[in-house]
């Protein structure tokens, strides 16, 4: 047994695994040492240099220790900023689009304003009554040149009224409804308009071409006094279109030896396919004079006529009875 115990003692842990002082003793020792160092440093300032050197030595370790949290903050900031910038960019794009739409609407309103001012000037120059209207849409038939305006029978519109805009004649009312009217444009092949050349007063009839936005001046001889660039205005002889309104400008003159007539193409002056605001010009009504004025004019005309000479009828049986003097 004694040998066994001796052998067991030889197999015990080596000396460097000895426990040494107890944990409580260590706590007391290091606490006392810390308090002593703190008191010494606070009063005598002996450890300032040592502390600075230790801070400099430990700074890389602090950076390494703070690296994960710093990387996390940077990544979080990056994605947050990226998300914010995307949202801000989308908001700015939407705002830019809205501003662009408003700007386009403002440009349209500006053009309509200018057109209305020109219409107001044209309305003042007209002697007939006129109604302001607006083109709603183009006619459904693709083979005709017609538009629909927002004025109709309820607005005292009549069939045959001329339709003009700020730059000239664009058409004529050909059909009316209670709240709208159909306007046949001057470029329609079924419409004719009496015109005269502004330069020399030559009168003619302009017909719509139908296929494109032009007019024809047919049946004019090859030696007619007309030039490219001449302006055509309404002659006013039809009683529908006021005289002097711009109609078209001569754009092309073609003369062929085998035809006695010149082929003359004109471009409309009015904004047939551009402007929305138009004027519907009333047909001038003939002035009816009162009955008193008519009777007075009739009596004046009757009194102004020369009196008819009196006829003297003589008796053939007594031819000298009239000329003989009365016997005393």
Shared domain check, 184 and 249? yes
Retrieve residue 133's tokens: 């209207």
Retrieve residue 280's tokens: 């519907």
Residue 165 placed within a domain: yes
Retrieve residue 248's tokens: 């078209």
Shared domain check, 234 and 137? yes
* Angstrom distance (rounded) from CA 248 to CA 169: 9
Share of the chain above pLDDT 90, in %: 26
Which distant-in-sequence residues (6+ apart) come within 8 Å of 278 by Cβ? 119, 132, 133, 134, 135, 149, 163, 164, 165, 170, 183
Residue 34 placed within a domain: yes
Confidence of residue 172 (pLDDT cuts 50, 70, 90): very high
Contact 239, 281 (CB under 8 A): no
Query: Of 281, 303, 323, which residue sits at a domain end?
Result: 281
What mean pLDDT is predicted for residues 151-171?
A: 90
Backbone phi, then psi, for 24, in 5-degree steps? -65, -40
Shared domain check, 185 and 38? no
The CATH number assigned to the domain holding 134 equals: 2.40.10.340
Q: Which of helix, strand or coil describes residue 36?
A: helix
Q: Which pLDDT does position 276 carry in this prediction?
A: 82
Shared domain check, 53 and 134? no
Which distant-in-sequence residues (6+ apart) come within 8 Å of 115 by Cβ? 165, 166, 275, 276, 277
Of the two residues 201 and 326, the one the predictor is more confident about is 201
Give the residue carrying structure tokens 């009217």.
Answer: 181
Residue 231 placed within a domain: yes
What mean pLDDT is predicted for residues 56-81?
A: 84
Retrieve residue 9's tokens: 């003692």
Confidence of residue 122 (pLDDT cuts 50, 70, 90): low
Backbone phi, then psi, for 172, in 5-degree steps? -145, 145
Is the predicted pLDDT of residue 199 greater than 80, yes or no? yes
Shared domain check, 139 and 70? no
Q: Which pLDDT does position 327 carry in this prediction?
A: 41
∠ CA 176-179-181, rounded to 5°: 30
* Angstrom distance (rounded) from CA 98 to CA 111: 20
Q: How far does Cα 157 stand from its chain's mean position? A: 27
Shared domain check, 159 and 88? no
Parent domain of 199? 126-281
Shared domain check, 277 and 130? yes
Radius of gyration of the chain (CA): 55
Share of the chain above pLDDT 70, in %: 72
Burial of 82 (C-beta count, 10 Å sphere; 0-12/13-18/19+):
exposed
Which helix (DSSP H) or strand (DSSP E) does residue 112 occupy?
Answer: helix 48-125
Residue 179 placed within a domain: yes
* Angstrom distance (rounded) from CA 328 to CA 326: 6
Is the predicted pLDDT of residue 2 greater than 70, yes or no? no
Backbone phi, then psi, for 74, in 5-degree steps? -65, -45
Confidence of residue 326 (pLDDT cuts 50, 70, 90): very low
Instruction: Give residue-wise pLDDT tens across range 232-285.
Output: 999 888 888 888 889 999 999 999 888 999 999 999 988 767 778 888 988 766
Shared domain check, 170 and 237? yes
Residue 264 placed within a domain: yes
Half-sphere exposure (Cβ direction) of 175: Cα atoms closer than 13 Å: 7
pTM for the model stands at 0.55
Give the residue carrying structure tokens 């055509």.
Answer: 232
Shared domain check, 143 and 239? yes
Shared domain check, 140 and 65? no
Residue 306 placed within a domain: no
Shared domain check, 46 and 182? no
Count the domains in the chain.
Answer: 2
Core vs surface per residue 178-191: b (16+ CB within 10 A) or e: eebbbbbbbbbbeb
Shared domain check, 173 and 217? yes
**Phi and psi based region of residue 248 (left: phi greater than 0; alpha: psi -120 to 50; beta: remaining):** beta
Q: How far does Cα 87 stand from its chain's mean position? A: 32
Q: Which pLDDT does position 321 carry in this prediction?
A: 43
Q: Which of 211, 167, 174, 168 is nearest to 191 (CA)?
A: 174
Confidence of residue 98 (pLDDT cuts 50, 70, 90): confident
Q: Which pLDDT does position 209 carry in this prediction?
A: 85
What mean pLDDT is predicted for residues 204-229?
A: 90
Q: Which pLDDT does position 147 carry in this prediction?
A: 92
Average pLDDT, the chain: 78
* Angstrom distance (rounded) from CA 323 to CA 236: 66
Contact 148, 137 (CB under 8 A): yes
Residue 59 placed within a domain: yes
Residue 136 placed within a domain: yes
């Amino acid at each position: 047994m004694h040998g066994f115990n001796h052998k067991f003692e030889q197999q015990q842990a080596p000396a460097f695994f000895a426990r040494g002082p107890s944990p409580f003793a260590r706590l007391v020792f290091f606490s006392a040492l810390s308090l002593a160092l703190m008191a010494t440093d606070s009063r005598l300032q002996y450890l300032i240099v040592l502390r600075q050197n230790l801070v400099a030595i430990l700074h890389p370790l602090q950076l390494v220790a703070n690296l994960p949290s710093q990387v996390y903050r940077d990544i979080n900031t990056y994605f947050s900023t990226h998300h914010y910038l995307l949202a801000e960019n989308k908001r700015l794009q939407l705002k830019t689009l809205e501003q662009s739409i408003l700007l386009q609407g403002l440009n349209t309103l500006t053009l309509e304003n200018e057109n209305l001012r020109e219409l107001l000037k044209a309305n003042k120059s007209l002697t007939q009554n006129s109604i302001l209207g607006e083109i709603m849409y183009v006619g459904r038939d693709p083979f005709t040149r017609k538009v629909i305006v927002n004025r109709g029978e309820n607005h005292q519109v009549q069939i045959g009224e001329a339709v003009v805009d700020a730059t000239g004649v664009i058409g004529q009312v050909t059909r009316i409804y209670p709240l709208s009217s159909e306007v046949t444009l001057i470029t329609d092949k079924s419409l004719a308009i009496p015109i005269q050349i502004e330069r020399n007063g030559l009168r003619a009839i302009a017909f719509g071409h139908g296929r494109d936005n032009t007019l024809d001046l047919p049946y004019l001889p090859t030696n007619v006094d007309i030039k490219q660039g001449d302006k055509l205005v309404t002659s006013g002889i039809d009683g529908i279109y006021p005289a002097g309104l711009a109609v078209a400008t001569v754009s092309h003159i073609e003369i062929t030896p085998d035809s006695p007539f010149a082929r003359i193409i004109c471009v409309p002056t009015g904004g047939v396919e551009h402007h929305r605001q138009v004027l519907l010009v009333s047909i001038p009504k003939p002035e009816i004079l009162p009955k008193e004025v008519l009777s007075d004019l009739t009596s004046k005309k009757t009194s102004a006529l020369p009196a008819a000479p009196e006829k003297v009828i003589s008796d053939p049986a007594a031819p000298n009875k009239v000329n003989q003097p009365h016997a005393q």
